[in-house]
Chains A and B, each alone.
Chain A
Amino acid sequence: MHLLVCGGTGCRASASDMLYENLKKEIQEQGLQDEVQVITTGCFGFCEKGPIVKVIPDNTFYVSVEPRDASEIVAEHVIKGRRVERLLYIDPVNKKQIADSKGMGFYKKQIRIALRNCGLIDPENIDEYLAADGYEAMGRVLSEITPEEAIQEMIDSGLRGRGGGGFPTGLKWQIASKVPGDQKYVVCNADEGDPGAFMDRSILEGDPHSVLEAMVINGYCIGATKGLIYIRAEYPLAISRLKIAIDQAREYGLLGKDIVGSGFDFDVEIRYGAGAFVCGEETALIHSMEGERGEPTFKPPFPAQSGYLGKPTNVNNVETLANVPVIYNKGASWFAGIGTEKSTGTKVFALAGKINNVGLIEVPMGITLREVIFEIGGGIKDGKKFRAVQTGGPSGGCLTEKHLDTPIDFDNLLAVGSMMGSGGMIVMDEDDCMVSVAKFYLDFTVEESCGKCSPCRIGNKRLFELLEKITRGQADKEDLDNLRNLSMVIRDTSLCGLGQTSPNPVLSTMDNFMEEYIAHVEEQRCPAGSCKDLIRYEIIPENCVGCTACARNCPVNCIAGERKQLHTIDQSLCIKCGACLEKCKFNAVAII
């Protein structure tokens, strides 16, 4: 029997490491250490209900497990074979308990390729990766086929870069392989900067060897002997697991000189990012690795021609690489059979926001947003109404009700004004103001713009100011025209992907939620009731019972009223924090 305990960042934040220790201790005290193994795994994806414990072989899926639950799990489940019912997952729709993870709506529609080992193996133990067919693809590619054949397989699979651009991976490898060079480099882009996306981190934490294996194959294909992993310094757990994986792979002769007796040398080094969103752009990333400011440069020359230290370089994203070993193991045609014609395979999405099942999911391309949000995601939190879903992070757009049945793939998302991006998917409900959401993303872009080209540096700042004017109710119709025109200019004239896509949140919300912009401008009204300058909190006399809860919780003491008397809010002092609304049990506070 195996007890798998999630050791991802999310679950660790809820004390899963202590839970692991407790389970281990209990098992030892019962003298069961030979029969029952307690294993820390990578992320199960179901972060909403962490920490997760899964029992193998019966697939029991325990949610929200606390360290003190360890003794009960061991005493009841392990020893007596009875499931601990109170820790089982309850379906948010039909309120039924579900014991087996296979029966959960969250997992039903998922196909896990890039995440195949996350939550299944111990990421700090190379033997477990080897037992899961690990390094088999690498062994076969290195000893049985030529680089040309290996590249062809990648082209046939139709795999496209999962970092955002969607460039065909095989083609990228082919270009680099044909450029002559004494030294070439393979770079893994693990600088996940999209706020709200955490798939790369989860893969590195849960299955670091799959990325290393793919890098060796990539190196063999293009003739590179050096690999570099550029990772955010903010991901300490991923870094430490990666270091362990590199050491183990070297020890087993799977990295280093003459790998598996093939005569091919390849080794990997880690480089640390220091927090700059623009470094997701490959030329910026390369400059950062060279110790410079991470500013992008014009392409061509492409990194495949002249990259790190001026040498031919392939930059691939973590999720892209995690797909690679499986493609060689199961064949290009198998992979191409999943997904849609032009976007093959699966995509990992970080599902977050106002949704019941927050977490990491992997679904076949072509699935609809409706299936993702309402079946896998379990619908909107607190029974509220769906308003929008934001895909593609700061470079993407907000999609609405009418896009729910659009099959998700690279091209379809672009066609409706958003993009795949790295796979962030933030769901918003009726309380979210779309103008404020656009402003939130622009605030991010303004901060993260590297400042090299003026459209992005100055233009985005002006966009932000216009949005601020709108959310304050001080804008007129001309400002709306300016907002759109300036967005177009920034899109068309910026140097790199960051600037070219930064107006997307503005343009997509203008396209899909124009009525909200108009309400802000013409009526000085925020329909979602979230723009502070356009709302006020009022006490409804009929409902107020004078319980004093609002007055006691008001941080600026602007609510007056005696016990059992009607209370009133002094609007001149109110900071609109909403504490009174949260505290009132009688629905006597309203946003006007």
Chain B
Amino acid sequence: MTSIKLKLKESEVQQLKEAASSFNNEPGELINVLHKAQEIFGYLPAEVQEVVAQEMNVSVAKVYGVVTFYSFFTMLPKGRYPISICTGTACYVRGAEKVLEEFKRILKVPVGETTPDGKFSITCLRCVGACGLAPVVMVGDKTYGRVTTDGVKDILKEYEDAE
């Protein structure tokens, strides 16, 4: 965690507080509240975790423990176009690794990070269940099937053109 404090938007903090109270601020609902928090802020930086801890009446350490345990929660902001490469077994045997390498090579960022312009981030996920289309890449909610290393730049171009 960094020592520079992030200033959270008051309206978003308010939204989070409302979400927590909709779950009766019940500690057992921590994971549900974190899902909401990630929806609101896009990620879960330390500052957001502090608000959650306060609202749910649990320690920040506990919130941090839960956030870091589950792969769905992230403490780093994602890009405007988050790229997820499926590295489930079906995709792996059909060449997901090469596709991942190509994304990393072109965007020059490692897995889990975002390009300096905030546009793309790369993550790996385990099986979206579209194994018939392996290897599969998701950009936001859009699924791309049978992706080849050549196809990578075409996918990226779609989003570069969009801006």
Query: What is the interface of chain A, defined by CB distance below 8 A to chain B?
Result: 9-10, 12-14, 46-50, 192-198, 201-202, 233-235, 271-277, 288-294, 309, 350, 352-354, 358-359, 390, 393, 424, 426, 428, 432, 437, 440-441, 444, 450, 555, 577-579, 582
Encode B85-99 as 1/0 by CB contact (under 8 A) with A. Answer: 001111011100010
Assess A291 versus B28: contact at CB under 8 Å? Given A13-B130, A198-B129: yes
- Nearest-CB residue, chain A, relative to B143: A13
Chain B nearest CB: distance from A148 CB in Å?
33
Chain A nearest CB: distance from B58 CB in Å?
8
The verdict on B35 contacting chain A, using a C-beta distance below 8 Å, is: yes
How many angstroms between the C-alpha atoms of A483 and B34 in the bound complex? 40
Assess A196 versus B90: contact at CB under 8 Å? Given A10-B133, A202-B129: yes
Assess A276 versus B129: contact at CB under 8 Å? Given A353-B94, A426-B89, A578-B98: no
Residue among A288, A309, A444 making CB contact with B31, cutoff 8 Å: A288
Contacts of A579 in B (CB 8 A): 149
Chain A nearest CB: distance from B157 CB in Å?
17
Contacts of A353 in B (CB 8 A): 89-90, 93-94
A10–B72 touching, CB < 8 Å: no
Of residues 88 through 144 on chain B, the ones whose CB sits less than 8 Å from some CB of chain A are 88-90, 92-94, 98, 101, 105, 125-134, 136, 143-144
Assess A234 versus B134: contact at CB under 8 Å? Given A14-B145, A440-B92, A450-B69: no
B127–A197 touching, CB < 8 Å: yes
B94–A196 touching, CB < 8 Å: no
B129–A201 touching, CB < 8 Å: yes
The verdict on B71 contacting chain A, using a C-beta distance below 8 Å, is: yes
A9–B129 touching, CB < 8 Å: yes
B32–A426 touching, CB < 8 Å: no
A234–B128 touching, CB < 8 Å: yes
How many angstroms between the C-alpha atoms of A352 and B93 in the bound complex? 9
Assess A293 versus B89: contact at CB under 8 Å? Given A10-B132, A195-B127, A198-B131: no
Assess A358 versus B89: contact at CB under 8 Å? Given A293-B65, A294-B70: no
Assess A358 versus B98: contact at CB under 8 Å? Given A274-B35, A294-B69, A428-B93: no
The verdict on B19 contacting chain A, using a C-beta distance below 8 Å, is: no
Contacts of B149 in A (CB 8 A): 577, 579, 582
Count of chain B residues with a beta carbon within 8 Å of a chain A beta carbon: 41
How many angstroms between the C-alpha atoms of A10 and B29 in the bound complex? 32
Contacts of A291 in B (CB 8 A): 26-32, 66
- Nearest-CB residue, chain B, relative to A357: B132
Residue among B66, B90, B128 making CB contact with A9, cutoff 8 Å: B128
The verdict on B73 contacting chain A, using a C-beta distance below 8 Å, is: yes
Contacts of B133 in A (CB 8 A): 10, 13-14, 47, 50
Assess A47 versus B31: contact at CB under 8 Å? Given A195-B88, A353-B89: no
Contacts of A235 in B (CB 8 A): 129
How many angstroms between the C-alpha atoms of A246 and B17 in the bound complex? 28
Contacts of A354 in B (CB 8 A): 93-94
How many angstroms between the C-alpha atoms of A416 and B104 in the bound complex? 40
Contacts of A294 in B (CB 8 A): 69-70
Assess A47 versus B132: contact at CB under 8 Å? Given A233-B35, A234-B125, A390-B89: yes
How many angstroms between the C-alpha atoms of A288 and B34 in the bound complex? 13
B131–A444 touching, CB < 8 Å: no
A196–B127 touching, CB < 8 Å: yes
B145–A193 touching, CB < 8 Å: no
The CB with the most chain B CB atoms within 10 A, among A192, A233, A291, A444, is that of A291
Contacts of B126 in A (CB 8 A): 193, 195, 275, 277, 444
How many angstroms between the C-alpha atoms of A263 and B26 in the bound complex? 31
Known: A196-B89, A352-B90. 6 other contacts (CB 8 A): A233-B35, A271-B32, A309-B28, A353-B90, A358-B90, A432-B93
